[in-house]
Amino acid sequence: MNYGNKQAVRQNKNCVTITFEHHELTLTFLSPEVMNVFVGLRYDDHFSRAVVWDGDETVTLGIEETPTCTWMKTQALQVAVFDGGYIDIYNQAGELLVADYRGERQGFERRGMNDDAESEGHKLERSTPRQKIEVIKSLIGDESFYGLGDKTGFLNKRGYAYEMWNTDDPSPHVESHKALYKSVPFFITHRQIGAFGIFFDNTFKSYFDMGKENADYYYFGANDGNLDYYFIAGPMVTDVVQRYTQLTGRSPLPQLWTLGYQQSRWSYENEARVRDLVQRFRDHEIPLDVVHLDIDYMDAFKIFTWEHARFPEPQKMIADLVAEGTKIVTIIDPAIKKERGYFAFDEGIEKRYFATDKDGVVYINKVWPGDSAFPDFSNPEVRIWWGKQLGRHLEVGLAGIWNDMNEPASFEGQLPDDVQFVNDGRPSTHAEVHNIYGHLMCQATYEGIKAATNKRPFVITRGAYAGTQRYTTFWTGDNHSFWDHLQLAIPQQLNLGLSGFSLIGTDVGGFGFDTTPELLIRWTQVGAFSPLFRNHSSVFTRSQEPDCFDSQTLNHVREAIRLRYRLLPYFYDLIWQMQTHGLPVLRPLVLHYQADERVRELSTQFLVGESLLVAPIIEQGARERLVYLPEARWFDYWRGESYAGGTSHIIEAGLADIPMFVKAGSIIPHYPVQNYIGEKCITCLALDLYPGEGTYSHYQDDGETFAYEAGEYTVTNFALTENSLKIEVQHAGYQSTYRELAMTLVGSQVSEVICDGKKYQTEQTSRGCQVTIPITSQTIIW
């Protein structure tokens, strides 16, 4: 986009507006490292559903005019704006980070004689046409790209092209899928001299080409809306993620039980089957916290209803299951059945709560209930109304809501672009609201549950936009029981985490098709590390509950689930820390080792926090794999053996094994295995201490309410050296149940420890030595 020659420059505090012949360009510095670039092509002002920036950093902004450009300098950035509106951005040292491309797009030629191949069923690729808004950046050569939400493919998105248009596509997701359920127009660029992020806050359909069309540039664009993007400087990848989540918000602290194992299927269609399912888990001593009910619990697929022939007393059923430690979550779709006498439809019609066509007539399309209307979640009155409906729905004892079909999906083609929405007083069309429809539904759901229960809402969603992490947990949608979908699950979740979506998971075992025993085992071993740990499968597929296979499969799946429960305090600590720094639970190695070239394309391993490295088996029949350990000293989680970093190792892994490694100087907390979270009062905190120096903070609260916001929580800090552990309570606002501390000194053979002057004998194990001491201890020496 060439704006013509520069005509005027004016500054207002941290905001610089440059008038060109054709447009007015405004650069706003939210902090020394975060800059917004804005051209009002459709609206004169910012209107964002994603941005909630609460930073208060002082920006020292200087401006200098030269014969060729306008220079702006902060404490972290140097920005040059040239005639035409071209922007080049440098770091504080004056090194070029990124420059606008001086030229037009020129893609490669697609050769073919005719389009007859489509008659046979071939999908022909088309070049992306020019867009009204295009931002083209020069490829310098050393870029790697990460983020962009739930897109398919490998971890590094260099050379791929995608679209941001929330899409319900149940066909097997492969690399040629340009769009899936979520639109997160944010990516991180990694270069040798540092990392930076770009967030294109435009809810219309947008396009991202990461160097596929031409090796000289990458670009993003849209056909409508404003040019409105944020440049987020690093230099570390961690810095970019922290600042991006400060800009768009961070995932709320969930209830503790949501980190337990969850079982789902389309469908557990009646009460008897649900009760039998739970009893089977208890009989086999498989931990279970949640059962999900898909659409068949409803009366004719009408939301907020129950089919009482199949679920005659839902409140009693749920109360009985909760007493046994199992919670119930139900699916909710946005579409409301067009049926006079159905309370939700009647009230929506009466109060004009539904989206309409351009003539003001309620728009109707077919979904599961048949002809249906679509609530206008962009109307604040509708969001409040929806929340109240959910409050009544929860009165039977439901623990959470699973939002589905909220792209929005429909059976007779997508909603037309000209369907009308209120959009909080800025009348808009579906073309603009489509990508935020699920986001607004999640906002309504979260706020409604919070108002009704005063507990931390548990919401799961399929459709989303940037910033939806403020309201919900995510799953990646309708995957299949294929090994390549298990392999896809790792980079997909890692890029979602880099995109601000930390509370994530996949359908363990695969949703479509029939899983195999080995695939279910290996997928459960991966899923045990996802914040959302849910097994889900489709109608008419093979049942994939753990006990539906042979005893070996049952045993291995059960052990993977039990591992999750042992690591529960580690997961909860990571999610608490996420409130402060915005870093996800699941992390690609490039997040912490960006100088290491060998991790930039690593799509088959991941970190859980910074301390735990997992390299699961994700190939059928594999009983060993090559594991790369970055620069550090690492210890085998299971055996305590030491491994050198900066190199690869061949690791054997039988069907029951998950290759896991812990970084030297780390502290990993554990709980005893429970059949469900809350079954046991945890009186002993177990800590694995790995040789080296490091620190760790452990968090506790009631695991349920918002009392922690008023200071009702406890944080205990641990400082580890080669021969000591110091314990300090940083904040003591919650009454802990701990009475003892069980320490394992991994790799050590010391015979005793001294705790506040008193000696305690250790017990030798294959991994090191163990000792139990009072939790009141302050210094332990060995």
CA 264, CA 563: separation in Å to the nearest integer?
Answer: 20
Strand order, beta sheet including 660-663: 586-587, 606-608, 612-614, 660-663, 633-636, 642-644
* End-to-end Cα, the chain, rounded Å: 67
> Which 3 state secondary structure label does DSSP give 444?
helix
357 catalytic residue (yes or no)? no
Kindly name the residue from 134, 269, 478, 518 that is annotated as catalytic: 478
Helix (H) or strand (E) holding 575, with range, is helix 568-581
**Residue whose pair of structure tokens reads 């808004």 in the numeric block:** 133
From residue 731, give the alpha-carbon distance in Å to each of 21, 476, 604. 58, 37, 38
Nearest Cα to 422, choosing from 370, 469, 360, 339?
360
- Classify residue 515 as exposed, middle or buried by CB count within 10 Å of its CB (0-12, 13-18, 19+): buried
Chain Cα centroid distance, residue 481: 21
Q: What is the CA radius of gyration of the chain?
A: 27
Max Cα-Cα span within the chain? 86
In angstroms, the Cα distances linking 681 to 284, 399, 549, 671 are: 22, 21, 33, 10
Residue 141 Cα to chain centre, angstroms: 29
Q: Is 224 a catalytic residue?
A: no
Residue pair 547/554 in contact by the 8 Å Cβ criterion: yes
Residue of 296, 404, 545, 559 with catalytic role = 404
Q: Looking at 100, 168, 239, 407, which residue is catalytic?
A: 407
Q: Is 299 considered catalytic here?
A: no
Q: Enumerate residues 6+ apart whose C-beta is below 8 A from 633.
A: 642, 643, 644, 645, 663, 664, 691, 692
The answer to whether 263 and 274 are in contact (CB under 8 A) is: no
Dist CA 510 CA 258 (whole Å):
20
Active-site amino acid positions: 404, 407, 478
